[in-house]
């Protein structure tokens, strides 16, 4: 039987989107300003197209105007840079998002650095990450996925200060900023990655586990301390002949086992995924407010 509380990202994300929609309504009414998000998609990866479509739909629902640049797989870096520059200079655009991954022939660092730091709603600019890492500094934007993890913990009133936390994975967009955020909230953080020996033993010491390794069923029930809180960021396809697509999506955590040990756990799907999109909307709204000096 299940003993874990479900950290219902879908439900919380819906609440947050409603809050955002309400705030945007108010701003439109009193100032006429409409927050705007621009998305740059290069190439025609199916998964990227789905992500972009979902983001556009989410914008629409809360009253954020969305702008799109769809570029061919074989377009030049310069072309991408030109679109970024246009969006940087467009006062109706408050957030700019470059859908990753970019085609191999492009320099991701160069392209991401071109996004104006004031519109970097993904929070991937090194200046933002530096501020996130530093005491006494504030990033303009916090990367959406780790921000979504933290927001979920906050909404469920899970204490972080003084707790042991383990983050599995250290990517620039999820693991590393998640570790920095937990540490800012005064958890004692250990970062686990592919060179870590005994990840099971280390993870078992944690009161809070955030897993973003991209490996299905990596975290078993035996990896968890009884009563731990588990946030599963992973989205991993596994074969499933019973499904029409031939696969289904699972997290990094073996849910059936973990839910018997953890005190609280996010489902996949319906956990961190919806929170990520809600945070993108939240970052776009904050950006519009900052750029227009509202409140």
Ligand X SMILES: NC(=O)C1=CN([C@@H]2O[C@H](COP(=O)(O)OP(=O)(O)OC[C@H]3O[C@@H](n4cnc5c(N)ncnc54)[C@H](OP(=O)(O)O)[C@@H]3O)[C@@H](O)[C@H]2O)C=CC1
Active site residues: 55, 99, 122
Number of residues that bind ligand X (CB under 6 A): 26
Task: Give the binding range for ligand X (CB under 6 A) out of 62-70, 103-111, 168-176, 220-228.
Answer: 168-176
Which of residues 113 and 236 has its CB atom nearest to its own copies in the complex?
113
Task: Give the binding range for ligand X (CB under 6 A) out of 54-62, 75-83, 102-110, 232-240.
Answer: 232-240
- Cα 231 from Cα 272, distance rounded (Å): 8
Answer with the entry of its own copies, ligand X, none that 125 interacts with (C-beta below 5 to 8 A by kind).
its own copies
Decide: 149 and 233 in contact? Cβ < 8 Å.
yes
Answer with the entry of its own copies, ligand X, none that 197 interacts with (C-beta below 5 to 8 A by kind).
its own copies
What residues contact residue 163 under an 8 Å CB cut-off, 6+ apart? 187, 188, 207, 208
User: What count of other Cβ atoms lies within 10 Å of the Cβ of residue 148?
Assistant: 31
- Cα 123 from Cα 147, distance rounded (Å): 10
Interface positions, 37-66, toward ligand X (CB under 6 A): none
- Cα 210 from Cα 187, distance rounded (Å): 12
x-or-dash string of contact with its own copies, 101-130, rule CB under 8 A: --------x---------------xxxxxx
Answer with the entry of its own copies, ligand X, none that 215 interacts with (C-beta below 5 to 8 A by kind).
ligand X
Interface positions, 103-162, toward ligand X (CB under 6 A): 145
Answer with the entry of ligand X, its own copies, none that 169 interacts with (C-beta below 5 to 8 A by kind).
ligand X
Contacting residue, 71, 202, 216, 291, with its own copies by CB under 8 A = 202
Asked if 133 is part of the footprint of its own copies (rule: CB under 8 A), the reply reads: yes
DSSP state of 117: G
In the chain, how many H helices and how many E strands?
10, 11
What residues contact residue 247 under an 8 Å CB cut-off, 6+ apart? 237, 238, 239, 240
CA angle, residues 164, 235, 210, in degrees to nearest 5? 5
Q: Using CB under 8 A as the criterion, which residues of the chain lie in contact with its own copies when the complex forms?
A: 109, 125-137, 161-162, 164, 170-172, 176, 180, 183, 186-193, 195-197, 202
């Amino acid at each position: 039987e299940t003993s874990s509380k479900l950290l219902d990202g879908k439900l919380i994300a819906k609440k947050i989107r409603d809050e955002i929609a309400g705030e945007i309504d108010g701003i439109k009414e009193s100032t006429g300003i409409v927050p705007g998000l621009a998305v740059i998609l290069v190439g025609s990866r199916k998964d990227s197209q789905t992500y972009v479509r979902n983001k556009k739909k989410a914008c629409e629902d809360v009253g954020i105007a969305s702008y799109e640049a769809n570029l061919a797989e074989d377009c030049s870096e310069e072309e991408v840079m030109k679109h970024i520059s246009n969006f940087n200079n467009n006062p109706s655009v408050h957030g700019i998002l470059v859908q990753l991954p970019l085609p191999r022939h492009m320099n991701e660092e160069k392209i991401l650095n071109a996004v104006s730091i004031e519109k970097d709603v993904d929070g991937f600019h090194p200046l933002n990450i530096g501020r996130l890492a530093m005491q006494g500094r504030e990033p303009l934007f916090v990367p959406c996925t780790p921000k979504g993890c933290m927001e979920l913990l906050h909404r469920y009133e899970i204490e972080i200060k003084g707790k042991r936390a383990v983050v599995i994975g250290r990517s620039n967009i999820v693991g590393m900023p998640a570790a920095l955020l937990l540490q800012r909230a005064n958890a004692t953080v250990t970062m686990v990655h592919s060179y870590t020996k005994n990840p099971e033993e280390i993870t078992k010491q944690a009161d809070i586990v955030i897993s973003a390794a991209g490996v299905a069923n990596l975290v078993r029930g035996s990896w968890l301390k009884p009563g731990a809180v588990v946030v599963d960021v992973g989205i991993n396809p596994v074969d499933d002949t019973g499904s029409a697509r031939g696969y289904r999506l699972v997290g990094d955590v073996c849910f059936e086992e973990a839910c018997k040990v953890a005190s609280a756990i996010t489902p996949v799907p319906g956990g961190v995924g919806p929170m990520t999109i809600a945070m993108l909307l939240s970052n776009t709204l904050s950006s519009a407010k900052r750029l227009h000096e509202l409140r």
